[in-house]
Amino acid sequence: MPLKPLLIGACLALLHAPAQAQTTTDATQMGERAFEGAQWILATKASRAVAQMGARAAKGDGPLALLIRERQQTEADLTKARSLYAVQFSNADAKITRARLQEVEDALAELDVEIREQFPNYAEFSNPKPLSYQELREQLAPNEGLLLFLSAPFATYVWAVSNQGQSWHRADVSAAQLGDRIRYLRRDLDPTALVRAAVPLPAPSTPAKSAFDFPKAHALFSDLITPVLPVLDKVDHLYVVKDGALSGLPLAVLLTDTPSDKVTFSNAPWLVRRFALTTLPGVSSLPSIRAAAAMTADAPELSGFVGFGNPDFDGASTQSGPASRAMGAFFDGHGTLTDAVRSLAPLPGTARELRDVSGLFPPELASVFTGPKATETNVKTAPLETAKIISFATHGLITGDLTGLAEPALAFTPPQIGSEQDDGLLTASEAAELQLNADWVILSACNTAAGDGTPGAEGLSGLARAFLFAGARSILVSHWPVRDDVTATLTKETLARLQHDPDLGKSQALRLSMLDLISQPDPSGLAHPSAWAPFVVVGDGN
């Protein structure tokens, strides 16, 4: 029997096993097999975004496209051979058919090896291999750990791995219950929670509302993470793989201790005080990240900055206008997709954000495209392969936000008449075609990290996956729209810390910048997690 069904079967068997069986040796061994099976399950959930990238890549004429097309044909041949073998299983022709089946299976395996060797990024996203506990520990530094979450209809499962060992835990929290709890917390975090709209968020003239349920934030930490915490005792940098509703909540907002009666936003025991956090698309992404870092260590130093932002949109600029409604509401399908993009709300604050960040670089090494120059065409034709840091400060849209939008996209200044080259939307599959070597891609836009806590939501948007696929080592994404002043401050301070101390690491630099905001007096509103918590590093946190 193939390995994948066995691993998934072991995972499902553990999920249904009685809780008291966890203490047995057999259960420990099954826990490791379930850990690998869970990786297969999570990889399957992301298959649609991967299929879109692969289908688009296959349309090209480069060596990867040729291999993908050959693999697609071989896979089709394998399906036919299996069907024929099933029909002929009991007759005299079965032996010949079985030999043909084995031949095609071997050819497919050889193609997978070739793709994995020549194009590790594509292989990682199209056919990731699960890691055992030992294989994962070999990838982790002494101060690093990994948390893997898998939500099921009847419980939520958590695995923790570090150099100190591994542990797993089954929390009696169903996927539906987890979704309810996360949506409850997000009510006080997402300023556009009820509308999920692309809106600009200027600094408020009055203090931000102070609502946040500290006890519930601690209860979620207690239910999910406390039981595996001993394995993470010497860890200060956590890689996190999440699925379902949990992917809609940054773990930074959880509380590691029971909040006292005198708890405030500035003194709360946020999880971000204990750990720097890095999100991974999957457990198996870590070896690819390490390999990419090793490959680029001897490469020519990248030094440039390229930024795109403040596109020309003519929609309402406040939340009381059309942009405050659900995205589909202001575009009813009577116009073109380009018309819908043009109707988005302007983002004037992003121009300042890009200017502030570009000021960290010598003028000759910084390029900023704003207004009429912030176009999809310029994104596709700019020399992005030489840029160390790339920033997209614009609206991030998810599937369904606009009628006719079938995949996540970034919005840019639209042309008068849209074309395949430029319709004002850089979709995930188009982003996957970019040639990048960037150390960091900053997606300073809403809806670029995950869903809103709805069960079954995609854990990591196709946009984030696409930029990793295109060659970015790390991505900075956000879970919800963020105040313009906060975005500018947080991105600039994080990058400045890295320039001052490159060994600090991206996730630690972001963590320290968040702690600076948390330390601000409550009346500023900056200590509220809605301001500092939405940003997460995806990919290489070092």
Cα separation, 442 vs 515, in Å, equals: 20
Query: Cα–Cα distances in Å, from 431 out to 138, 407, 443, 470, 481?
Result: 32, 11, 12, 7, 21
Give per-residue pLDDT as tens, 181-214.
998 998 888 765 433 334 445 555 333 446 889 9
Pull the structure tokens for residue 109: 């395996």
Give per-residue pLDDT as tens, 216-268.
999 999 999 999 999 999 999 999 998 888 888 899 999 999 999 889 899 99
Whether residue 256 contacts residue 514, with contact meaning beta carbons closer than 8 Å, is answered with no
- Those residues whose C-beta lies under 8 Å from the C-beta of residue 435, and which sit 6 or more positions away, are 384, 385, 470, 471
408 CB burial (10 A radius; 0-12, 13-18, 19+) = buried
Other CB atoms closer than 10 Å to residue 45's CB: what's the count? Answer: 17
Among 109-118, 165-174, 269-278, 398-407, top mean pLDDT goes to 269-278
- pLDDT at position 448: 60
Q: Which residue did the predictor score with more confidence, 400 or 439? A: 439
Cα separation, 140 vs 162, in Å, equals: 7
Distance of CA 339 to the CA centre of its chain: 29
- pLDDT of 320 > 50? The answer is no
- pLDDT of 4 > 50? The answer is no
User: At 314, is the pLDDT very low, low, confident or very high (cuts 50, 70, 90)?
Assistant: confident
Q: What is the CA radius of gyration of the chain?
A: 24
- pLDDT of 540 > 70? The answer is yes
- pLDDT of 58 > 90? The answer is no
Cα separation, 518 vs 524, in Å, equals: 10
- pLDDT at position 77: 78
- pLDDT at position 207: 39
Which range (24-38, 84-98, 191-205) has the least confidence?
191-205
Residue range 98-115: average pLDDT? Answer: 84
Other CB atoms closer than 10 Å to residue 121's CB: what's the count? Answer: 17
Query: Cα–Cα distances in Å, from 480 out to 191, 225, 448, 511?
Result: 8, 24, 8, 18
- pLDDT at position 213: 92
Cα separation, 350 vs 365, in Å, equals: 20
- pLDDT at position 333: 47
Phi, psi of 337 (to 5 degrees): -60, -35
User: At 10, is the pLDDT very low, low, confident or very high (cuts 50, 70, 90)?
Assistant: low
- pLDDT at position 327: 40
- pLDDT of 322 > 50? The answer is no
For all residues of the chain together, what is the average pLDDT? 78
User: At 441, is the pLDDT very low, low, confident or very high (cuts 50, 70, 90)?
Assistant: very high
Cα separation, 409 vs 427, in Å, equals: 4
Which amino acid, one-letter code, is at 529?
A: P
Query: Cα–Cα distances in Å, from 23 out to 167, 225, 277?
Result: 11, 18, 30
> What is the DSSP code (8-state) at residue 227?
G
Give per-residue pLDDT as tens, 478-512.
887 777 778 888 888 999 998 899 889 999 999 99
Instruction: Work out whether strand 396-397 and strand 304-311 pair parallel, antiparallel, or are unpaired.
Output: unpaired
- pLDDT of 57 > 80? The answer is no
- pLDDT at position 271: 97
pTM beyond cutoff 0.85: no
Cα separation, 392 vs 272, in Å, equals: 25
Place of tokens 């708890």: 263
Whether residue 444 contacts residue 370, with contact meaning beta carbons closer than 8 Å, is answered with no
